[in-house]
Amino acid sequence: MTTTYDILLTVDDLQTCFRTEAGLLRAVDGVSFEIPRGQTFALVGESGCGKSVTALSILKLLPPAGISNGLIRLGDDELDRLTDWEMQPVRGGRIGMIFQEPMTSLNPVFTCGAQIVEAIRLHRECSAREARKHAIDLLDQVGIADPAQRMKEYPHQLSGGMRQRVMIAMALSCEPELLIADEPTTALDVTIQAQILELLRKIQRERQLTLLLITHDLAVVAEMADSVGVMYAGTMVERTDVKQLFANPLHPYTQGLFRSLVTMEETRERLDTIPGSVPHLSALPVGCPFHPRCDKGQTDARCATCRPDLREVAPGHFCACYVAPNYDNAEPKP
């Protein structure tokens, strides 16, 4: 790998398992990607594919039953080697996080202002007064009208869109290098979603922020991302830049996702679907995890016996499918 441009985050061969009664479940199995500074990388996939667990592994916020392995590098620091204590200044300081549910991730018994001030004072030496002033500034920047008044309000007094803006303000409060947004607009209405996406784009432009966006919505990916990784059952099945992915999706799962989208120029009577549903992690099929649902399933004898690894089938386009053109000639390890 040559570092021709500045890579902020590198994740290499991340493995995350959970100890459960049913044994060890592999939620993330060998995920690798890197994000250049100032760019947006999107992790796409359906629920249960391991995209949120990937984000939590980066921040080391896994529940006690989770074990994670693999290289995670932020700038020059290897986060996977840090202790929990050493991670504290990184979480919220160098990496900001926006969660999906703004209602459950804000504390209902403290005012919004108190929560932002807390975040600022945890990571910075400053007086309460300075922190308060900074918090008002931030609320103003994320487009909240009358920020001084909103500081005094509790989360339940705000609408969903407002709460998400407060979350963004909090995530930005310590000027992080990396912002992880886990389904930031899923719980919002389309009109509010458009506002929040516009806000994220604006902030990213102004601050040269690097964004790891986790979503299941391909349309959001198209609007926001520079490059994309598609996940299925804990593995990354396709990774490339956004234009390439939308113009020429190579993995049958990605193609299925595109076909099942309801678009605005809809004329089909029936929608195309991917038959079946996502397998449970405790009962993953042998071979390619997607092969029982795959429309090209088992055209290659290896589909049902051996899991394909991610290979560079075209310049900058990685795909884990035996049926993808040029797969067998490609380099085994990206």
Q: Which is nearer to other proteins, 216 or 302 (CB)?
A: 216
Consecutive H or E run containing 71: strand 66-74
Burial profile 7-37: b = 16 or more Cβ within 10 angstroms, e = fewer: bbbbbeebbbbbeeeeeebbbbbbbbbbbbe
For other proteins, which is the closer residue by CB, 4 or 191?
Answer: 191
Nearest approach, Cβ of 29 to other proteins (angstroms)? Answer: 20
**Closest distance to other proteins from the beta carbon of 245 (Å):** 8
Q: Which residues contact 295 (CB under 8 A, 6 or more apart)?
A: 252, 256
Residue number with CB closer to other proteins (21 or 266): 266
CB of 303 to other proteins, least distance (A): 19
What is the smallest separation between the CB atom of 122 and other proteins, expressed in angstroms?
Answer: 31
Closest CA to 195 of 158, 144, 147: 144
Provide the 3-class DSSP secondary structure of residue 169. helix
Do residues 322 and 287 lie in contact, with contact meaning Cβ atoms separated by under 8 Å?
Answer: no
Which residue's CB is nearer to other proteins, number 61 or number 194? 194
Compute the least distance from the CB of residue 221 to other proteins, in Å: 8
Q: What is the residue-wise DSSP string for 85-152? A: HHHTTTBTTTEEEE-S-HHHHS-TTS-HHHHHHHHHHHHS---HHHHHHHHHHHHHHTT-SSHHHHHT
> Based on CB atoms, which residue is closest to other proteins, 24 or 261?
261
Least CB distance from residue 114 to other proteins, whole Å?
23
| Minimum CB distance to other proteins smaller for 118 or for 241 | 241
Our CA dihedral for 156, 158, 164, 167, rounded to 10 degrees, sits at: -70
Instruction: Kindly state the smallest distance separating residue 249's Cβ from other proteins, in Å.
Output: 11
Q: How many CA atoms lie within 13 A of 151 on its CB side?
A: 19
Q: What are the residues binding other proteins (CB under 8 A)?
A: 46-47, 145-146, 159-162, 189-195, 197-198, 201, 216-223, 225, 242-243, 246, 256-258, 260-275, 277-278
- Minimum CB distance to other proteins smaller for 109 or for 145: 145
Query: What is the Cα–Cα distance from 276 to 256, expressed in whole angstroms?
Result: 12
How is residue 224 written in tokens?
């926001």
- b/e 157-173 (16+ beta carbons within 10 angstroms → b): ebebbbbbbbbbbbbbb
Smaller CB distance to other proteins: residue 24 or 271?
271
